Amino acid sequence: MSKGNYYITTPIYYVNDKPHIGHAYTSVASDALARFMRLDGYDVKFLTGTDEHGQKVEKSADKAGVSPQDFVDKVSVSFRELTGLMNISNDDFIRTTEQRHKQAAQAIWKKMLDAGHIYLGSYAGWYAVRDEAFYNESELVDGKAPTGAEVEWLEEPSYFFNLSKWQEKLLAHYEANPDFIMPKSRYNEVVSFVKGGLHDLSVSRASFSWGIPVPGDEKHVMYVWLDALTNYLSAVGYPDEHAAEFKKFWPASLHMVGKDIVRFHTVYWPAFLMAADLPLPERVFAHGWWTVEGEKMSKSLGNAIAPQELVETYGVDQTRYFLLREVPFGSDGDFARDRILTVINSELANNIGNLAQRTLSMIQKNCDGKMPSAEGISPQDVDIEFLEKVYVTREETEREVHKAYRECQFNKILSDIREIGVAANAYIDTKAPWKQKKEDERLMAATLAHLAESIRCLAIMLQPFMPEASAKILVLVGYDEARAKAGVPFSELKPAFAIPAGTPLPVPAALFPRIEAPEGKAANAG
């Protein structure tokens, strides 16, 4: 039976550029959470897609000498391919040029207009095409946007959304829902921004045409952020509020975003939704920013790292693991190649990989390739303590794990998993099954059975992060391939689900090969 519904979204990425590790990061983090929620018994909808309108995309198409539609059709594919490449389990992929989206965007516009929240005026002010954002004079730093983007002076007729009227309602919502914006530092930032006062927001542009026409006034196209944010609704069937998907999945449980787009998701978006009389998403989590070897990733430096290259060099699971273990989710991180090597070698090859290799090859050799039995051997304190670390039998622990996921504490979750691996490696050394073999083979068998259980549980826990490797490990400890691939629920982290003694196990295969540093540079083995 389902524990409930969970709707998680990534930002929809601009198609003016190729995907890089920043995009991969958001998608992988959302994927880990989506996979966990499914394995924890929820009905999940996981959405990603592409943001295809606006001046920035129109300019990129111009530069490429093709029509905007041809341009977006082509680049959108590279984002769709990113989902395959990074093993992202999204249930839907939305493009803002699709009919279902245009319909939803125009419907929300009409709803806000009819309720008197949109009016015609004229805009005179600064605009940064790179950010697709309006800035006040006071926000500019050395004549540029605070993000460093070039700004241009814009004067044109424009429709406005009465954002200034929503200040108190927004503040009340933040106060009543302290988890609406995470982490806390972002929450505080947003609250103080809103307390500073809000200006009405220009929500249409009339000086270019690559966008969704404003209903009833086709000289205007909708502001790309109003268009883009609505994707979260279009994908669940809005404007049909009776659609099964809409009823099941709206409001969204989580919008995962980077810290660059917090304001759009936590100020504009909830205000639009309130104006359209729609319920607000439960949470927006804004993660940190990646630099590469200490530098900001940028087109001009040409240092953006293509996810493809990482997957080819290190493997997809290794890349996913690294991205989520390296920095506390919410903080900024730096991508350094010597770090990824160290992490793969010390935490995957030496820890988890070594544990599986040592245990499973001993079983293969000494237990006739079958799951050994611990029966008849009374566990000592060391065994009991070890198994307590491995299993999740207490409801309290279950709740903590669930909470850690909902709060996106991926690096903490991974560090807890790693500790189990370290404890298991230490347990082998303490018990020394190779010595036990000489004393009493039953003792050795019991130790190996406990170790196999620890590997089974580790593999279950690793599924959201490393879906391929964990499925492989699950097969090595006796699950049939179809079950391993479909995913083993977290409820099986209990002794009752141990693989029965006597189950034949396949010949173990190496899981995480050590990676050598290029050009003789020593990779720290950790």
Contact 174, 192 (CB under 8 A): no
Of 372, 346, 347, 349, nearest to 359 by C-alpha is 372
Cα–Cα distance, 204 to 123 (Å, whole number)? 10
User: What six digits make up the tokens of 211?
Assistant: 């966008």
The per-residue DSSP string of 215-260 comes to: TTEEEEEE-HHHHHHTHHHHTTTTT-TTSHHHHHHPSPSEEEEEGG
Kindly state the smallest distance separating residue 258's Cβ from ligand ME8, in Å. 3
Q: According to CB under 6 A, which one of 11, 68, 211, 330 is a site residue for ligand ME8?
A: 11
Q: According to CB under 6 A, which one of 64, 171, 191, 297 is a site residue for ligand ME8?
A: 297
Kindly state the smallest distance separating residue 331's Cβ from ligand ME8, in Å. 11
Quote the distance between the C-alpha of residue 57 and its chain's center. 25
Q: Which amino acid is at 438?
A: K
Size of the site for ligand ME8 (CB under 6 A): 19
Kindly state the smallest distance separating residue 117's Cβ from ligand ME8, in Å. 20
Q: According to CB under 6 A, which one of 22, 270, 372, 464 is a site residue for ligand ME8?
A: 22
Q: How far apart are the first and last CA of the chain?
A: 44
Is residue 25 a contact residue for ligand ME8 (CB under 6 A)? yes
Sites for ligand ME8 among residues 429-488 (CB under 6 A): none
Q: Which CB, 228 or 274, lies closer to ligand ME8?
A: 228
Q: Which CB, 22 or 239, lies closer to ligand ME8?
A: 22
Binding segment (CB under 6 A) for ligand ME8, from list 164-172, 256-264, 274-282, 500-508: 256-264
Binding segment (CB under 6 A) for ligand ME8, from list 9-17, 204-212, 369-377, 406-414: 9-17
- The runs of H, that is alpha helices, within 298-352 are 307-314, 316-326, 337-343
Binding segment (CB under 6 A) for ligand ME8, from list 60-68, 195-203, 254-262, 446-454: 254-262
CB-side neighbour CA atoms (13 Å) of 109: 28
Is residue 64 a contact residue for ligand ME8 (CB under 6 A)? no
Neighbours of 475 (CB within 10 A): 19
Is residue 258 a contact residue for ligand ME8 (CB under 6 A)? yes
Cα–Cα distance, 442 to 361 (Å, whole number)? 17
Is residue 272 a contact residue for ligand ME8 (CB under 6 A)? no
Binding segment (CB under 6 A) for ligand ME8, from list 23-31, 68-76, 311-319, 459-467: 23-31
Q: Which CB, 25 or 123, lies closer to ligand ME8?
A: 25
Kindly state the smallest distance separating residue 294's Cβ from ligand ME8, in Å. 13
Contact 48, 10 (CB under 8 A): yes
Q: According to CB under 6 A, which one of 193, 246, 289, 497 is a site residue for ligand ME8?
A: 289
Q: According to CB under 6 A, which one of 12, 107, 254, 445 is a site residue for ligand ME8?
A: 12
Kindly state the smallest distance separating residue 15's Cβ from ligand ME8, in Å. 8
CB-side neighbour CA atoms (13 Å) of 203: 32
Length of the chain: 526
CA triple 115-120-121, angle to 5 deg:
140
* 100 contact partners, CB below 8 Å, separation of at least 6: 94, 234, 235
Is residue 310 a contact residue for ligand ME8 (CB under 6 A)? no
Sites for ligand ME8 among residues 200-239 (CB under 6 A): 228-229, 231
Kindly state the smallest distance separating residue 289's Cβ from ligand ME8, in Å. 4
* 496 contact partners, CB below 8 Å, separation of at least 6: none
Phi-psi group of 490: left, alpha or beta (phi > 0 → left; psi -120 to 50 → alpha; rest → beta): alpha
Q: Which CB, 14 or 126, lies closer to ligand ME8?
A: 14
Q: According to CB under 6 A, which one of 62, 175, 260, 516 is a site residue for ligand ME8?
A: 260
Binding segment (CB under 6 A) for ligand ME8, from list 17-25, 63-71, 121-129, 273-281: 17-25
Cα–Cα distance, 230 to 161 (Å, whole number)? 15
Kindly state the smallest distance separating residue 497's Cβ from ligand ME8, in Å. 37
Positions in the binding site for ligand ME8 (CB under 6 A): 11-14, 22-23, 25-26, 51, 228-229, 231, 257-258, 260-261, 289-290, 297
